[in-house]
Amino acid sequence: MHLKRWITSLVALPLLIFLILKGGAFLFAVFICFICMVSLSEYYKIVLSNTDFKVFGFIPFLSFITGFLIILAFYFKKFDAVIIILYTNFITAGIYSLFLFKHNHRVSDLLLKQIQGVFYIPVLFGFFVLIRNSSDGVVWICFLMALIFSGDTGAFYGGRFFGEKKLCPWISPGKTVAGAAGGIISNIIITLVFYRFFFSDYNLINLLIMSVLSGALGQAGDLFESVLKRVANIKDSGTILPGHGGILDRIDALIFAVPVIYIFKEYIL
């Protein structure tokens, strides 16, 4: 398990770094869009696993179109368009559900899961595109990736070697208080490194607050996906990343943390 985990990281990480540093803003947006599409498919496999609804039925499929348009709107900084896209998605899915209700009275559950999926993945994860297209976007993307992945690694090994008291055993029995603390400590260390070399013009206290908050929310994002999987009785969202599970398993922390980083970067720091 550990060997597969490290091999996957060693293969994927250089490709990701190359994409961030050399790929350009448009290619990065395409990459984020691709990640969203795969994550949406994994999300539906989880939340629809115990239902009669199909992963690529009309209402779920509509969210793929909606997600693509949301990422496109973020890329061109058309924030008003995001509201219109979400409204159109809701109205279209809502009207279609009126006809589907005749055959399946649980269609409202599908509609709620679709709305949740659209907001959960393309809207929140789309903030990656906004950060990349902002000033010093490349540095901030590198910081964000280092922050979350180091936090994930710190939590994993902190819990493995020092963990005894469980954090949320009713959701994820493997997570411990020591693991959560290890993740936050790793976040702080990464923030201090970036402050030393890239962020010296910013207020250190605000940076540390942002780091701890985004790290804590990242762990909450991990637990949120665990709730979805536990309800569906599924261990991993997919198998695309050996040793790591699915794409959604790798970005669940990022989804919750990215908007916080953007808000601090643009309005607080």
In the prediction, which pLDDT does 7 show? 54
Close Cβ partners of 191 (under 8 Å, ≥ 6 residues apart): 147, 207, 208, 210, 211
DSSP string, 67-136: HHHHHHHHHTT-HHHHHHHHHHHHHHHHHHHHHHTTT-TTHHHHHHHHHHHHIIIIIHHTHHHHHHTSTT
Q: Based on the structure, what is the number of domains in the chain?
A: 1
Query: 80 is written with which tokens?
Result: 């008003």
In the prediction, which pLDDT does 242 show? 54
In the prediction, which pLDDT does 11 show? 58
| pLDDT tens-digit series, residues 122-172 | 999 999 999 999 999 999 999 998 888 888 888 877 877 776 788 888 888
pLDDT bin (cut points 50, 70, 90) of residue 23 is: confident
Of 60-64, 110-114, 170-174, 265-269, the one with minimum mean pLDDT is: 170-174
Confidence (pTM): 0.89
Domain, as residue range, for 172 = 2-268
